[in-house]
Chain A
Amino acid sequence: MKTTRHRTLRNDLIAYSFLLPNLLGFVIFTMVPIVFSFFLALMKWDGANPAQFVGLDNFFRLFQDEGFQISSFNTFYYVLGVVPLTLIASLALAVLLNGKIRGRNIFRSIMFFPYVASLVAVAVVWNMLFHPTMGPVNFLLYSLGVENLPGWSASVDWAMPTVIMATIWKGMGYYMIIYLAALQGIPGYLYEAAEIDGAGKWKQFWKITVPMLTPATFFVVMMLTINSFKVFDLIYVMTAGGPGRATNVLVYAIYNAAFIEFKFGYSSAIAIVLFAIVLVITLVQFRMEKKWVSYT
């Protein structure tokens, strides 16, 4: 009896010791700042002078702040653009590259490449391709006879779509890999049976592939949603939130409030609202999971 208990304890300790390095890092660099930011949201603090407790003032101010409204709108615009389109693009790629086509490994690598490419390089290259007066994209459109060429990332109306396109291009390879793995897991006999029953390719796709992929789709939607709400880097490099405030998203507003204006309390309040939004959406998605995801 004693020895077994001793052994379990020993096993536990060994397991914890393996977890410890990561856990320590997580607690010090992630957990503590998160908890700290909840307190900060109730304070007025510039990083140097003593913090003042202001209660919920930061939150009241937030809902009157036009900048916050613009950033929220932009964030939802971005998420609603990125999530469905990346999903469709990566699924389409996965289905195409799952078939037996010549050189499919090369194509898979090409599609995965943007994901591993440096984000700054991607942003700079996109900006060059889509340069309003000197870029090849507008040159092509011009030679096709398009009038009123879009200003892409330099115009207020097109900046967000441009950033969304860049995000999709950069991310779709990664989600394609997830879909590919899931596609390999679909047993071949299902398709055989369907074919014997006279179902065409299109019908097979909707009746077998899509339902069998729902667990992967669920994962992809979750990751995409959370990652899209967190967007900052690509926007920082491509448009710096501009022109004006056309691509100023919530994380950008957090950055500005904290490190440009030194309102750490206010910036924490925005961060908490963002956290709440993502939390609610994630919970709703988990709730809905039962309705459409089939684990067979």
Chain B
Amino acid sequence: MKTFTRLARAVATLALATLAVTGASAADKTELKMLVWDAANTAYLQPVIDAYQEKNPNVTISLISTSANEYSDKLAIMLAGGEAADIISVKSIPDYAGMVNRKQLEPLTPYIKKDKVNLAQYSGVTDDITVNKELFALPFRSDIWILYYNKDLFDKAKVAYPTNDMTWDQYAALAKKVSSGFGTDRVYGSHYHTWRSTVQLAAAQDGKNSIITTDYSYMKPYYERVLQMQNDKTVMDLASLKVGNIHYSGVFYNNQIAMLPMGSWFISTVIAKHKTGEATMNWGIVKYPHPAGVPAGTTAGTITSLAVNKASKQKDAAWKFVKFFCGPEGAQILAKVGNLPAIRDKDVVKILTSLEGFPTDATSKEALTTVKVRLEMPMHDKVAIVERILNEEHELIMVGAVTVDKGLADMSRRVKEALAQN
């Protein structure tokens, strides 16, 4: 018994001593935990963090990384379990809407007012994510949809390159013209990745209809066009892509597709793959095609932002980092590694377009300027379920399990039901 007491006392003393030591170092050193996806493959993360740590030597940022595919689910589950990591990377609007609904994010409006952050520099995207006059995240990346193309394949087919001002009809005709070959040697004119957005964004581009609605019949011509392209083998069919787990990047590098409508996030990847030698083709970008009557430069966009966890115990320190990351300094660093930052002034665009590896032609440099950018998925508290319904019905239409009319009618009915539920 006596030995036990002595032992207990020794352990207690030791524990106190360690506590005192760590406590003392915590006073002048702040460690901020940040939730991110694919840390190893995200080129911009470390440079921004390094720059911040250089300016603030007492702060260390440690990353908690998850694979991009699982990030949304994992993040939600971690937060539900009381995760206290300080900074949260917000990957998509559905994630953001969910966390706002569940009151897991610290409102940033008071901090913004206190530090007089100029929201005008975000050219309006902060308005899109303002909920009841409160902003819960600051955007650092604001990607837009553009059209990538493989110059080599166009040269080989002796077809003129795409331009910065094309209607969807002109684009489809071009895709047909540049397609050639059979079987495994087939060169497809364009490519629709498995996301429903690849087809649906074009339908909502004119701004007359929203992606969240109760009548989707407006998408009919767009689905018919893409189905026609599938039939003509101008694009690969969705069933093959899904079952074969085919990613858009692979077919682009392997010269299997001549054009690729995709988000600007892909630019930095293409540049990086050219540096490692995995991709060798000449490529260029042009503005996203548009419906007739809609000005060129109208496109859909998506934002990536940073938020402060409501459960964080170091909110002020976390906010300072968020402000830096999403501010002008962060933006320049982001542009230097090939990303389109949310602050997109002339300097930033110039840094990006003069990067080594960025296409050198004037058309490509012009492609990133926009007239109007609409959020790919608008803010709505039912956004997660709507997204799922749209994806399911999209799949059915694209594999030909239902007609376009039936698919869109089902889509409308199901979304209507989901919106009516509380």
Contact = CB atoms under 8 A, between A and B. Distances in A.
B80 A261 contact: no
A156 B102 CA distance: 36
B241 to A, nearest CB: 9
Contact of A132 (B103, B104, B239): B239
Contacts of B279: none
Contact of A261 (B385, B401, B402): B385
A262 B76 contact: yes
A48 interface: yes
A49 B103 contact: yes
B102 A48 contact: yes
B243 A152 contact: yes
Interface string A244-282: 111000000000100111100000000000000000000
Interface stretch (B3-11, B110-118, B293-301, B392-400): B392-400
A151 B243 CA distance: 10
Nearest to A257: B385
Contact of A243 (B80, B395, B417): B395
A214 interface: no
Interface residues of B, number: 30
Contacts of B245: 124, 127
A244 B244 contact: no
B77 interface: yes
B123 interface: no
A134 interface: yes
B382 to A, nearest CB: 9
A142 B101 CA distance: 52
A47 interface: yes
Contacts of A155: 239, 399, 401
A164 interface: no
Interface in A62-80: 66
A175 interface: no
A108 interface: no
A155 B245 CA distance: 15
A133 to B, nearest CB: 5
Contacts of B28: none
A156 B243 contact: no
B317 to A, nearest CB: 24
A242 B239 CA distance: 11
A174 B384 CA distance: 39
A29 to B, nearest CB: 14
B349 to A, nearest CB: 37
A151 B77 contact: no
Contacts of A133: 237, 239-240
B29 interface: no
Contact of B392 (A131, A132, A154, A242): A242
A153 B243 contact: yes
A245 B389 CA distance: 10
Contact of B240 (A46, A134, A243): A134
A274 to B, nearest CB: 20
Interface in A110-135: 124, 127-128, 130-134
Nearest to A264: B80
15 contacts: A48-B103, A49-B103, A61-B421, A127-B243, A127-B244, A130-B243, A131-B243, A132-B240, A132-B243, A155-B399, A241-B392, A244-B393, A256-B388, A261-B385, A262-B76
Closest 8 CB pairs of A and B: A48-B102, A154-B239, A47-B80, A244-B396, A156-B401, A243-B395, A154-B243, A244-B392
Given A66-B417, A243-B242, 8 more contacts: A46-B101, A47-B76, A47-B102, A61-B421, A243-B239, A244-B392, A244-B395, A262-B102
Interface of B: 73, 76-77, 79-80, 98, 101-104, 237, 239-240, 242-245, 384-385, 388, 392-393, 395-396, 399, 401-402, 414, 417, 421
